[in-house]
Chains A and B, each alone.
Chain A
Amino acid sequence: MVPTDPPGCGGNEQQFWIRAQQLEKLPPCQAECPNTGNVRGWLGIIAQRQKHGLSLEQAYDRAWKELARRNPFPASIGRICPHPCETRCTRGDKDGAVSINAMERFLGDWAIDRNLPLPLIEGQSHTESIGVVGSGPAGLSFAYQMARRGYTVTIYDRRIQPGGMLRDAIPDYRLPRRLLDAEIDRLFELDIAVIRGVELGKDLTLEELRERHDILFLGMGAQGGRRLGVPGESGPGVMSGIDYLRRRKLGTNENLGNKVVVIGGGNTAIDAARSAIRDGAAVTVLYRRTKEEMPAAAHEVDDANIEGVEFTFRSVPTGVLREDSLVTGIEYQYKQPGNPDEINQLPTDTVIVAISQEPDWQGINLSGDGDKWLHTEEDGKLADDLWAGGDDRGPGVASRSVAHGRIAAEAAHARLRGNPRPQPVRRQVGTGAVKTDYYESQVRSERLRRPQDEWLEHPEEEIDLTISSEEACQEAARCMSCGLCFDCHQCVMYCNAGGYSPVENAGPGSYFSLALEMCEGCGKCIELCPCGYLEAREDSSLAAD
């Protein structure tokens, strides 16, 4: 029976009887994550381990598996991701966002130390052949997602070493090689063949590959450094940031000289500047806007400053100065609002241009209209058999490339199996739905770092350290589980009617069932549910979910 409002209480905007529904919602961390990682899910496994009889070790193992379902490189991404997940963490306004990035890194290291295998989807095996061009984060992510679904995958890469930008562009002091190697090697234990040193457009044609494979994924990245387009740019002593970083890793760089000017304000510019400092040069970064407008992560900029990198803002290069073909300096316009531009010169031996990258199409014309970026459908589809992802669809962070690969694989798999395309759209947790006062205050564990005076003493050694297991436990417990039940028992405790009962096979997110026929409509459970999982039914009727 649907109860009616008592006389005298009708006609109000507020309902007399309020009935709850259990509804999982998208937490802000997941909404902000480029790869929509199930952060709440894997943190919850650790935080709620005792409820499921898991030891701490078992919980870490399981949390890593949950994490690795979407991202096969947690140790790497946990080091280099600008972690937008933390920016809107509900905990942020209370006592600091959960250290999600540090947790991801911790679990990544944990899995490498324990040699944990990547989580396969059991019982699936398919005959279709899958090809991938490029072994950067997008290509590897796509290969991984297809291989774990039971497909045989072949990767083509023009380089000998896999990893794409993860290997070429990220300096060792941010991402130690041995960790990247460990994560990629683990991936190659799946049914993935790698053909190295073959170049699309030179050794193979696109048509050949499409012929060979049922699905072909292009993850070719954007490896070409954009040029300044100023006089004197061509010739020795001027290089792109990406080329500089790659050659540095291979140990094939020429001498930079004593003075280096880096042009740009992104992460590549900062990586190049800090690398050049490590190569013994005095480094100045020229950026055309202000410090606040730099696209690079703020903490990277600060670290560069600490290491002695100089910054000149509002400066637009107008020419590279040369004497006898050798670089002697750079000329730039200093833009001051309200004042006429000044033309300045800065002496230098080397100019590193890190303003942007663009795809190097190696002779293939896919977009047709001359545009350098690929324009795919949202899930990466170019044609029924051709998908793409990563920086060849426009510049972005590594975890976006991982997402591109994963989403394309999910969609391609659905197409091959004749399933509908996955539509993972869920409503976000509303503002104020999480009652932060309910949660005990607990200070955020900041990641530890080596002392500053040691940074350049061991220039290639990692600066950030992994948090301890104890801290990881604490951080996991700080997650408020926005939008999903975490077994706090508030609803059971406050329901006078006994409408909530523990479910038999409780699991993360599923702890209590609600018997609506017992509901007495007081709405206390909704008001007291700290995580926003319970919400009022609009019609207050007893209709089932």
Chain B
Amino acid sequence: MISGEGLESLGSISANPGSGSQKTLTDGSRVAVVGSGPAGSFFSYFLLKMARTMALDLTVDVYEPRRFCERGPAGCNHCGGIVSESLVQRLATEGIALPDDVVQRGIESYVLHMDVGDVEIATPVEERRIAAIYRGNGPRDSEPLDTHSFDGYLQQLASERGANLIRRMVIGVVEEGDGMRVHCADGTSKVYDLVALASGVNSRLEEDVEEHSRQFMKPVRTKTFICEFKLGREVIQETLGPSMHVFLLDIPRLEFAALIPKGDYATLCLLGDDIDEDLLDQFFGSPEVKNCFPGGEIPMHVCHCSPRINLGSAKPPYTDRMVMIGDCGTTRLFKDGIGAAYRTAKAAARTAVFHGVSAEDFEAHYWPLCRKMDTDNRIGKVVFAVGSLVQRSRFARRGVLRMTSLEQNQSAKQRRMSEVLWDLFTGSAPYREVFLRTLHPVYIKDLVWNLIAGNARRAEKSKSANGHDGEGRHGPH
């Protein structure tokens, strides 16, 4: 199966004359896509779709050893499984409509849990719903349901476009002559004109690529924690409802924690800086978390693991004849990884078909998108830093709680705090937008007022109740 056929075809007519690049995809060119998560599948899909408009005949081999049709960790793809409505809509405009059986359930609101109280934030605008999905075919021990894997669905789209799915694990990509040789774990290898690396952030392939490359640096990563509880549909409905539960707790290094209902199961997702056992102890020990479970007891999980997420981008996310997309290239900080996979995949495919596959081509036509996302991530870091300041300060938490509660109770008024929180939790909007909204004078004015009012009210109450903390549950329930 070792072949160099791809190399011989390079002499034929270029589909994009005048692009200036010496390295282009031509009729018969071979493309390897390493990994068939959302990034790999989107890339294959768009590459083949765009090539068709150019009457360009490509062979696309997608390497994916996993089977997403399997339940439990085998088909799992390490994430909380939230697709923002903005992405769902963008996919719809591409002609990709997520079938109903891929969506576990629509999320209708967020419940924010803090030591100073809870508040429910309803969907700000009717359209901005959130879809909870399973990346594989459901958790360990789950009954076969009529639901399907999100990743499996995208993989199927790519296959329908003509991509060849190869169930082999890639362990190395090495430059060879005027091509890239892809080495598989079973000892086989093949040469390609272009390799799209979409192996995510949890594979070790990038370490190998980094070792073999003079310039490439893999993204900086950190450890998260994801855990699956089997509670039963009725219990979920009773305790969690159609809401995603977000915890703003004063636990060092914890940036974000959410409990997401999905059918019979609930997915717990902790993000932050190196989520470790001490942090988990604190988290599971806090009453705000315990109260979300029946009887105030944390039940036994069905599975848990500590997948990595990116804290920065790969630098640069391309070389000659190789482009990194999705998590192994550039993604959005903490949120909307699938949206980032879509955007990077499409930009990389467009560059490859319409411009070329040299490092210069990717630099000119692919890098700008990555840079933009990078910049937004830097803003995101500031936003999350502010967020963690709020988490650390009971004073600030009271202000946020009061402002959000009032917004939620008075439907006519503009919900500035709710929207900021919503976009921060869902990743629906760029961090830049979120940040700019927090600089709005009305937002600042409201926040200052709520900080004073929220804390003053507490001061009065505690005086009258002789030190008793009278904070109750706010917001509509």
Contacts and interface: CB of A to CB of B under 8 A. Distances in A.
Interface of A: 3-4, 6-9, 12, 14, 16, 50-51, 437, 440, 487-489, 492-494, 496-498, 520, 522-524, 527-528
A45 B297 CA distance: 52
A497 B303 CA distance: 16
Interface of B: 65-66, 70, 72-74, 78, 140, 167, 169, 171, 185-188, 202-204, 223, 277, 280-281, 283-285, 290, 297-298, 300-301, 303-308
A9 B308 contact: no
Given A498-B204, A520-B305, A527-B72, A6 B298 contact: yes
Given A4-B281, A7-B285, A520-B305, 13 more contacts: A3-B277, A4-B277, A9-B301, A12-B300, A14-B300, A51-B186, A489-B65, A489-B171, A493-B169, A496-B223, A496-B308, A522-B73, A528-B73
A268 B203 CA distance: 59
Interface of A is mostly: loop
Contacts, number: 73
Nearest to A498: B204
A487 B171 CA distance: 12
B281 A6 contact: yes
Contact of A492 (B204, B300, B304): B204
A527 B140 contact: yes
Contacts of A14: 300
Nearest to A527: B73
Contacts of A497: 306
B304 to A, nearest CB: 6
B300 A493 contact: no
Contacts of B300: 9, 12, 14
A8 B293 CA distance: 11
Contacts of A528: 73-74
B241 to A, nearest CB: 22
Contact of A496 (B140, B283, B303, B307): B307
A439 to B, nearest CB: 11
Given A496-B78, A528-B74, A9 B284 contact: yes
A3 to B, nearest CB: 4
19 contacts: A4-B281, A7-B298, A8-B290, A8-B298, A50-B188, A51-B186, A489-B171, A493-B65, A493-B66, A493-B203, A496-B202, A496-B306, A496-B308, A497-B306, A520-B305, A522-B73, A522-B304, A527-B73, A527-B140
A487 B185 contact: yes
Contacts of B280: 6
Most chain B beta-carbon contacts within 10 A, residue among A14, A440, A494, A496: A496
Closest CB pairs A-B (n = 6): A50-B187, A8-B298, A522-B305, A6-B284, A524-B73, A489-B185
B284 A522 contact: no
B306 A8 contact: no
Nearest to B298: A8
Nearest to A526: B73
Contacts of B297: 8
Contacts of A523: 303
A7 B305 contact: no
A12 B65 CA distance: 34
Contacts of A520: 223, 305-306
B306 A7 contact: no
A19 to B, nearest CB: 13
Contacts of A8: 284-285, 290, 297-298
Contacts of A3: 277
